[in-house]
Amino acid sequence: MAVSPTTMAAVRASGAVPKAEYLLNVEGIRKEFPGVLALDDVSFRLKRGTVHALMGENGAGKSTLMKILAGIYVPDQGEVFLKGLSIRLKSPLDALENGIAMIHQELNLMPFMTVAENIWIRREPKNMFGFVDHGKMFEMTADLFNRLNIALDPEAQVRDLSVANRQMVEIAKAVSYESDVLIMDEPTSALTEREVAHLFEIIRSLRSQGIGIVYITHKMNELFEIADEFSVFRDGRYIGTHASTDVTRDDIIKMMVGREITQMFPKETVPIGDVVLSVKDLSLKNVFSGVSFDVRAGEILGIAGLVGSGRSNVAETIFGVTPATSGSIAINGKPVAIASPNQAIQHGMAFITEDRKETGCLLILDVLENMQIAVLQDRFVKFGFVAEKEISAACKVMSEKLRVKTPNLQERVENLSGGNQQKVLIGRWLLTNPKILILDEPTRGIDVGAKAEIHRLVSELAKQGVAVIMISSEMPEVLGMSDRIMVMHEGRVTGFLDREEATQVKVMELASK
Amino acid sequence: MTSEQATAKAPAPTTSKRGRRLPPEVSILLVLIGIALIYEILGWIFVGQSFLMNQQRLTIIILQVSVIGIIAVGVTQVIITGGIDLSSGSVVGMTAMIAASFAQASTWARPVYPGLTDLPFIVPLIVGLGIGLLAGVVNGALIAQTKIPPFIATLGMMVSARGVAKWYTKGSPVSGLTDQFNFIGTGIWPVVVFLVVAFIFHIALRYTRYGKFTYAIGANVQAARVSGINVERHLIKVYAIAGVLAGLAGIVTAARAQTAQSGMGVTYELDAIAAAVIGGTSLTGGVGRITGTVIGAIILGVMISGFTFLRVDAYYQEIIKGVIIVAAVVVDVYRQKKRKV
């Protein structure tokens, strides 16, 4: 017997809530989408005052479960109990009013409104004339920020805030609903280390106030740092729940993938050839300057540095997305002018961008259309007509080689998981037979299994003589995959490290120099 | 996903090219058939005659649809790139006037260019297509180079092209056109032109690189650029094609009327957009097909003809037309939502 939100609110107000063992209790949830069984008989229990991490590869069902808890999806079967009472959530508003708030991976704030307006939207304090009382609203916001130890101006416009600060606003908003359950979907994916530390402080303080926090993450070290318990999902099924102090990293990976990953970073030592790409004194006004480096055939050059250090801008400039204001680029010893991605492709370059959704995928188009688009510049086209059979065959071979998990090549890319979207993009570029491959955060937001596959692939390409540039914020990835590491800080190159001498500490030193 | 599972679950080869999904045109076609049947039934009840079993009526419908259809084929491509073209109706008026001025017979008392009469059909044809091309290139260049919204760029062209149409003869019509010129507007020729144009661009969108790039730009312009597509050049192409087709529609319109007037083509741009949208083209870009647009244009034609047939007051006709256009988009939005998993 499900209780409506209003009844629930009344019960809560009367204080007659039964003392339930679990704050949130999910039993036997099943959710099916056309062609996919996203959740199959899944159960999950959240204790009061704990941080509970959800682990699993992309497509394991974590996000679907969270969306059910947040009222975005309605389950086909199963029940959700909040403090022992069965509830049925039909909309995100339902969830909020029941005390369940979700902080989405893609932040949902209105950029042209102030911080305070964003937090109190729909619940603005009114003055005697029925108009919004901005003064009071700013005060309420300041109080809230005080409580959470957030240093932000309630009157600032959201579009002027950094991603980290926007996240703080989202958290404050969730807390302002007096939520009992807070769901965080990969909250640290765009934060610097210091910002992560601050976020964790806030999470700990919320936990001590008895709030239960569901925390989705792909980062193993976060799990050990912040989570009390964790549950693992795999292919839409619940695998198990453990205290995070009881297990090792390898145990978790094993649970997540159902097998042991023997080698995360299968970097092979391969003979390094001649210089393929040579960059000299490359500058982009007000963004970065004096960047010089060489990449050789078969070499993987890692670029490390904090977000905002100009790493991605260098990649975009080399690829012609934002042409350089000064400096020179030479390929195979010959100076080249690259003013557009098109020219970069003609010179044998490929670029897998940082942001899959913004600059990578054609989300509403299908796998085939996504894969073929870059290679159509010069191959598979006769008199303007696309050689459909040949290109379909090539894409099919590529998607099988990359193990893209999709029902068929006619599936819309937006229906694939992040890891599979990334594989489609890699396939798009491999079809062009690149000599120089630039990867910007190639495994961000991707599950362990797909990650290992991508690493293996990159290593394989280097072995075939491709010159690889790999930008990454993940230290183990940079250290594990690179032959050499170039470190950047505030638009300048602060140093190079060889594979043998590179350590996490040395990289961090250079990155904050 | 584990590697074993990936191999096990590896997508089975699909035999059909577009998967099992029915093409979206099928549902639009059903709507068309539905509307026609409703008219048929209402016809027997209220007017006492058949709506469909009347060859003359069907001919008129398809003729009326042709001009809008030619424009809509161009507009559909513009909308697929995520843009819009508001100028096509005015370009029809402008090209009708200018092309007609090169198609006057020497027997006519006051030709625009007394020295240039009785020219072969090819001259006004090239002039008309050229004027349309020019308007389209200006639209495309403005949008691609200055990055102003297509709505504004083509709104400007809409106003200016109409101005040119009026200024050209200071408002007077251009009449006394040669039989050679008028020929293209007689009989079933406008329909032939429409179907040939639709066929060409259906093929272009489905099977050429031009088509693939058009969809890619509409789906994600940033990703398209990074994938090596010269987005600016491509947009100019697409708007240029829309301009040429509006120019062609202008020639057909003048030929059908055997005269050109500066007011020709008013609101045609809206009918063309409506035809595209009813046909399943999404205003957010990346989605749309010429076959859908053709059916969309026919739906518009059947609707109007049906109202007249049922003797519905002309005022009501417009009101209902507006409602149906909005309803088509609402249905489309729901359909898009449902396809998303």
Cβ of A410 within 8 Å of Cβ of B7? The answer is no
Structure tokens at B93: 């008026």
What 3-state class would DSSP assign to A402? coil
Helices (H), A209-290: 220-226, 249-257
Q: How far apart are the first and last CA of chain B?
A: 19
d(CA B290, CA A135): 55
d(CA A270, CA A296): 12
Residue B326 confidence (pLDDT) above 80: yes
pLDDT given at position A21: 76
Cβ of B216 within 8 Å of Cβ of A344? The answer is no
R_g of chain B computed on alpha carbons: 22
Is A359 at the interface with chain B, CB within 8 A? yes
Cβ neighbors of B311 (< 8 A, separation 6 or more) are B47
d(CA A469, CA A301): 5
Cβ of B11 within 8 Å of Cβ of A363? The answer is no
Cβ-based contacts of B231 with chain A (< 8 Å): none
d(CA B9, CA A399): 13
ipTM, two decimals, is 0.82
Residue that finishes a domain, picked among A257, A284, A312 = A257
Q: Would you say residue A406 lies in a domain?
A: yes
Residue type, A499: R
Q: Could you identify the residue written with the tokens 């789906």?
A: B219
Contact B307, B316 (CB under 8 A): yes
Closest partner residue to B1 (CB to CB) among A369, A376, A405 is A405
Residue B111: C-alpha distances to residues B96, B107, B124, B201 (Å) = 15, 9, 14, 36
pLDDT given at position A398: 92
Supply the CATH number for residue A211's domain.
3.40.50.300
Burial class (CB in 10 A: 0-12, 13-18, 19+), A510: buried
DSSP state of A108: -
CA-closest candidate to residue A462, choices A421, A434, A487: A434
Answer yes or no: do A212 and A139 share one domain. yes
Answer yes or no: do A381 and A309 share one domain. no
d(CA A502, CA A479): 7
Residue type, B130: G
What's the gap between Cα B286 and its chain centre? Answer: 17
Q: Would you say residue A271 lies in a domain?
A: yes
pLDDT given at position B2: 37
pLDDT given at position A280: 93
B320-337 mean pLDDT? 78
Contact A305, A487 (CB under 8 A): yes
Backbone angles phi, psi at A374, to 5 degrees: -80, -35
What 3-state class would DSSP assign to B184? helix
Cβ neighbors of B21 (< 8 A, separation 6 or more) are A410
Across the beta sheet with A100-103, the strand order is A100-103, A181-185, A212-216, A51-55, A229-234, A237-243
Chain B nearest CA to A49, separation (Å):
32
Give the pLDDT band (50/70/90) at residue B1. Answer: very low
Domain range holding A488? 262-348+434-447+461-513
DSSP state of B195: H
Answer yes or no: do A486 and A426 share one domain. no
DSSP state of A77: E
d(CA B182, CA B6): 64
Proportion of chain B in helix, strand, coil states, percent, rounded to 5: 70, 0, 30
Answer yes or no: do A68 and A189 share one domain. yes
Residue A69: C-alpha distances to residues A81, A204, A415 (Å) = 10, 22, 21
Burial B79-93 (b: 16+ CB within 10 A, else e): bbbbbbbbbbbbbbb
Closest partner residue to B341 (CB to CB) among A34, A363, A408 is A34
pLDDT given at position A14: 55
R_g of chain A computed on alpha carbons: 25
d(CA A437, CA A428): 12
Across the beta sheet with A275-284, the strand order is A288-296, A275-284, A326-331, A334-336
d(CA B253, CA B174): 13
Residue B292 confidence (pLDDT) above 90: yes
Contact A266, A260 (CB under 8 A): no
For chain A, give the number of residues: 513
Is B18 at the interface with chain A, CB within 8 A? yes
Q: Max CA-CA distance within chain A?
A: 78
Pair type for strands A288-296 and A100-103: unpaired
B55-77 mean pLDDT? 93
Residue B8 confidence (pLDDT) above 60: no
d(CA B68, CA B298): 10
Chain B nearest CA to A479, separation (Å):
25
Residue B12: C-alpha distances to residues A392, A407, A409, A425, A448 (Å) = 14, 7, 10, 21, 25
Answer yes or no: do A245 and A334 share one domain. no
pLDDT given at position A2: 52
Answer yes or no: do A299 and A422 share one domain. no
Domain count, chain A: 3
Q: Which residues of chain A have pLDDT under 50?
A: 1, 261-262
Contact A350, A458 (CB under 8 A): no
Residue B56 confidence (pLDDT) above 80: yes
pLDDT given at position A429: 94
Closest partner residue to B340 (CB to CB) among A341, A360, A414 is A414
CA-closest candidate to residue B78, choices B243, B292, B311: B243
Residue B4 confidence (pLDDT) above 50: no
Contacts 24+ apart (CB under 8 A), B322-325: B324/B278, B325/B274, B325/B277, B325/B278
Cβ of A361 within 8 Å of Cβ of B11? The answer is no
Cβ neighbors of B294 (< 8 A, separation 6 or more) are B69, B73, B198, B279
- Which conformational region is residue A340 in: left (phi greater than 0), alpha (psi within -120 to 50 degrees), or beta? beta
pLDDT given at position A161: 87
Closest partner residue to A359 (CB to CB) among B13, B222, B339 is B222
B49-56 mean pLDDT? 88
pLDDT given at position A313: 93
Structure tokens at A157: 């416009």
pLDDT given at position B6: 37
Give the pLDDT band (50/70/90) at residue B12. Answer: very low
Residue B3 confidence (pLDDT) above 60: no
Cβ neighbors of B271 (< 8 A, separation 6 or more) are B68, B71, B72, B300
How many other CB atoms sit within 10 Å of the CB of residue B10? 14
Is A263 at the interface with chain B, CB within 8 A? no
Cβ-based contacts of B19 with chain A (< 8 Å): 408, 410-411
How many other CB atoms sit within 10 Å of the CB of residue B146? 9
What 3-state class would DSSP assign to A237? strand
Chain B nearest CA to A305, separation (Å):
23
What's the gap between Cα A378 and its chain centre? Answer: 33
Residue B148 confidence (pLDDT) above 80: yes
DSSP state of A61: S
Q: Would you say residue A452 lies in a domain?
A: no
Task: Give pLDDT tens digits for A19-77.
Answer: 567 889 999 999 887 656 788 899 989 999 999 999 876 667 888 898 899 888 899 99
B4-23 mean pLDDT? 43
B267-295 mean pLDDT? 93
pLDDT given at position B85: 97
Is B209 at the interface with chain A, CB within 8 A? yes
Pair type for strands A467-471 and A436-440: parallel
Closest partner residue to B208 (CB to CB) among A321, A340, A384 is A384
Q: Could you identify the residue written with the tokens 């596959």?
A: A453
d(CA A1, CA A78): 12
Q: Could you identify the residue written with the tokens 């800080």?
A: A489
Residue that finishes a domain, picked among A257, A277, A304 = A257
Answer yes or no: do A238 and A344 share one domain. no
Cβ neighbors of A298 (< 8 A, separation 6 or more) are A270, A271, A272, A273, A462, A463, A465, A466, A467
Q: Would you say residue A238 lies in a domain?
A: yes
Range with lowest mean pLDDT among A127-136, A270-279, B308-317, B322-331: B322-331
Q: Would you say residue A513 lies in a domain?
A: yes
Burial A90-114 (b: 16+ CB within 10 A, else e): eebebbbbbbbbbbbbebebeeeeb
- Enumerate the β-bridge partners of residue B295: none
Residue B268: C-alpha distances to residues A84, A163, B70, B277 (Å) = 63, 46, 11, 14
Is B223 at the interface with chain A, CB within 8 A? yes
B24-35 mean pLDDT? 86
d(CA A65, CA A95): 13
